Amino acid sequence: MSAAVEARLRQALAGSSEQHRPLVDLEWPWLVQKALKPLFNNLREAAVLVPILRRPAGYTVLLTVRAETLRNHRGQVSFPGGRRDADDATLAACALREAEEEVGLESARAEIIGYLDDYPTTTRYRVTPVVALVQPPERFRIDAGEVAEVFEVPLAVLLDSSRYETKVLSKQGLNVPFYEVNHEGYRIWGATAGMLKDLCRKLS
């Protein structure tokens, strides 16, 4: 079963690269896209790691709950990641560095297998999701300044399109749709759910 899952992931992400990074289809109504388009000009580069963990009971995806002390998106569910630094040779290097800083994931444990479509955020970042197969450590070392906790969701749950609910957020007088997944008390929504929905779509 594990070999079949890995083959499916590799096939779905084959051909993706840092050189070819399309912007994700946000599936917004035309009027919303037109009104919010100025927000997505001159976006700064950022990357997140989408860590798919090889567990004996099956594959899981590692997610974090952001610390309440952070300025943006405090308390929300996210992937390990952040803004690209000048020293980051690639976006994959950025994602791996951030994952090591935030949750203690050593880059040697992660095999990059591809990229999801870039995701623009209202905080003016163009986020590149870097997908990796990970041999998990015995425990994750959390940077409490950035991460409140880590948790895992079975990959099978996140590849079930019926788990994604469409919700609406009022922003600047507009109704902006977004995806949301609820799992064992955790609310995964916004950009993180949007990236996972893209993974779900690519593997469907």
Q: pLDDT for 24-47, tens place per residue? A: 999 888 888 888 888 788 899 999
Q: pLDDT at position 174, please?
A: 82
Q: CA torsion angle for 107, 112, 118, 122 (degrees, to 10)? A: -20
pTM assigned to the model:
0.94
- E strand map for 31-173: 44-55, 58-66, 77-78, 81-83, 110-115, 119-120, 125-134, 147-154, 165-171
Residue ranges in the chain whose pLDDT is less than 50 = none
Q: pLDDT at position 183, please?
A: 97
Residue type, 99: A
Q: pLDDT at position 71, please?
A: 66
